[in-house]
């Protein structure tokens, strides 16, 4: 299949929109769990209480409402539409014209995917930063209050029982958590006006490294899984057909490739997220820090190495996989739908004659009949 820019752009854009809208609520749960792990383990406040994915999801819906599940969806919806358009288009181009990647388990497919990571990082770093700030907006201030309260209690511990009692009463009367920002645009405007545009690129290095590792594994696994699952589906179909006596060597095998696409997409997303999840956990810790909105308050930003060290100190190696369960579930759902949207958009473009395919759609997969 020859490379065609128009259909690749349409396919990548469709993949970005579908995947983002389906997976955002689970991404919220993942971010909360990641930053729970990077927060101080000595705090006893309910706002930093360690929760499982379903417990946390229920807690968010109960205390913050349904709208909070999509708080901060604007930046990723825009940026991931752009990034998926760029990633699918650049991957297709570099795979065909530079690395000549083959179907199946070919490392050239990983190289073709990774080549665009520096450009992706320029787009996704501000998006991830704003998304993380918005997803944590309802709990950042509460966590900071919990730390301050713990400090006050340690200072007033001796002979100040009346003061402690007053603090406890106030904590019981706290209203529903409310964040500082009303929208992603307002969040960006407030932080940029106080700290400059460079604040949006907090965590840029670790985010770009993560992008390169993820997208390389993503396309490598997708091409490999697609071939393997298509072969398994065909073998299963042949076995059933031979048992019923209706097997024909001329039977159409395109259905196997079509069905293999969402399955391979789901497994490639889950595998890639599992492999790169520690880097994303560090990235979330760096970009999820409480950034003051006033110039009078100094910023004490924590770098990736310090965040990594703190995670290991507080939670051990398991801290690097905090929130992995909702992330894997989200990755399977999003990647399966993303590749289906991509391949489906290409199919519609070519069958409708909208592009140069002129109705001659081929999925580009290997011949699984051999």
| Closest C-alpha to 12, from 73, 92, 117, 67 | 92
Nearest one of 18, 15, 133 to 71, comparing CA atoms: 133
Q: Which residue in 6, 14, 4 sits closest to 82, CA to CA? A: 14
pLDDT 10s digits, 177-199:
566 788 888 889 999 998 889 99
Query: In angstroms, rounded to a whole number, what is the distance separating the alpha carbons of residues 216 and 212?
Result: 6
Does the CA dihedral 274-276-279-285 come out positive or negative? negative
pLDDT number for residue 202: 93
pTM here is 0.69
**Do residues 246 and 296 lie in contact, with contact meaning Cβ atoms separated by under 8 Å?**
no
Please say whether the dihedral angle defined by the alpha carbons of residues 151, 155, 157 and 159, taken in this order, is positive or negative: negative
Residue 324: the pLDDT is 84
Q: At what angle do helices 117-135 and 5-38 cross, to 10 degrees?
A: 50
Q: Which two tokens stand for residue 298?
A: 């100094």
Distance CA 117, CA 354 (A): 30
List per-residue pLDDT tens for the chain, 370 residues long.
Answer: 455 666 677 777 777 777 777 777 877 887 777 776 555 444 444 444 567 777 888 888 888 887 777 877 777 777 777 887 888 888 988 998 899 999 999 999 999 999 999 998 998 999 899 988 888 876 655 555 555 665 666 666 655 555 555 555 555 444 555 667 888 888 899 999 988 899 999 999 999 999 999 999 999 999 999 999 989 988 887 787 777 766 555 555 566 777 888 899 999 999 999 999 999 999 988 998 888 877 666 677 788 999 999 888 888 888 888 878 888 888 888 888 888 888 777 777 777 766 554 433 344 433 334 3
CB 60 within 8 A of CB 68: yes
pLDDT single digits (tens) 136-184:
876 655 555 555 665 666 666 655 555 555 555 555 444 555 667 888 8
pLDDT at position 147: 57
Q: What is the mean pLDDT of the chain?
A: 77
Q: Is-contact 67 176, C-beta < 8 A? A: no
Residue 277 · residue 324 · CB < 8 Å? yes
CA triplet 248, 226, 120: central angle to 5 degrees? 155
Question: Rounded to whole angstroms, how far apart are CA atoms 29 and 26?
Answer: 5
Counting beta carbons within 10 angstroms of the beta carbon of residue 72, is it exposed (0 to 12), middle (13 to 18) or buried (19 or more)? buried
Q: pLDDT at position 215, please?
A: 94
């Amino acid at each position: 299949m020859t490379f065609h820019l128009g259909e690749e752009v349409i396919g990548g854009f469709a993949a970005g929109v579908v995947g983002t809208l389906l997976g955002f609520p689970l991404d919220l749960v993942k971010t909360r769990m990641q930053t729970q792990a990077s927060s101080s383990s000595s705090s006893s406040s309910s706002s930093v209480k360690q929760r499982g994915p379903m417990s946390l999801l229920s807690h968010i819906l109960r205390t913050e409402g349904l709208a909070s599940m999509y708080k901060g969806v604007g930046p990723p919806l825009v940026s991931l539409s752009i990034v998926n358009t760029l990633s699918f288009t650049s991957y297709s181009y570099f795979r065909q014209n530079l690395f000549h990647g083959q179907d199946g388990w070919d490392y050239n497919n990983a190289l073709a995917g990774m080549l665009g990571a520096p450009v992706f990082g320029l787009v996704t770093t501000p998006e991830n930063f704003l998304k993380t700030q918005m997803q944590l907006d309802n709990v950042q201030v509460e966590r900071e209050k919990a730390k301050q309260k713990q400090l006050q209690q340690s200072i007033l511990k001796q002979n100040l029982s009346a003061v402690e009692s007053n603090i406890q009463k106030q904590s019981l009367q706290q209203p529903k958590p409310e964040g500082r920002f009303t929208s992603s645009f307002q969040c960006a405007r407030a932080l940029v006006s106080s700290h400059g545009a460079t604040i949006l690129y907090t965590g840029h290095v670790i985010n770009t490294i993560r992008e390169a590792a993820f997208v390389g594994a993503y396309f490598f696994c997708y091409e490999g899984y697609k071939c393997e699952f298509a072969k398994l589906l065909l073998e299963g179909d042949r076995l059933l057909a031979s048992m019923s006596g209706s097997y024909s060597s001329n039977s159409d095998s395109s259905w196997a490739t079509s069905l293999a696409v969402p399955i391979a997409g789901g497994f490639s997303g889950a595998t890639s997220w599992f492999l790169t999840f520690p880097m994303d956990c560090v990235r979330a810790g760096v970009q999820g820090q409480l950034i003051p909105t006033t110039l009078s308050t100094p910023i004490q930003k924590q770098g990736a190495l310090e965040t990594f060290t703190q995670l290991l100190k507080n939670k051990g190696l398991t801290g690097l996989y905090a929130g992995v369960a909702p992330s894997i579930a989200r990755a399977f759902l999003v990647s399966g739908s993303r590749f289906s949207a991509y391949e489906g958009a290409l199919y519609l473009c070519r069958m409708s004659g909208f592009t140069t395919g002129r109705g001659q759609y081929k999925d580009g997969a290997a011949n699984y009949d051999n």
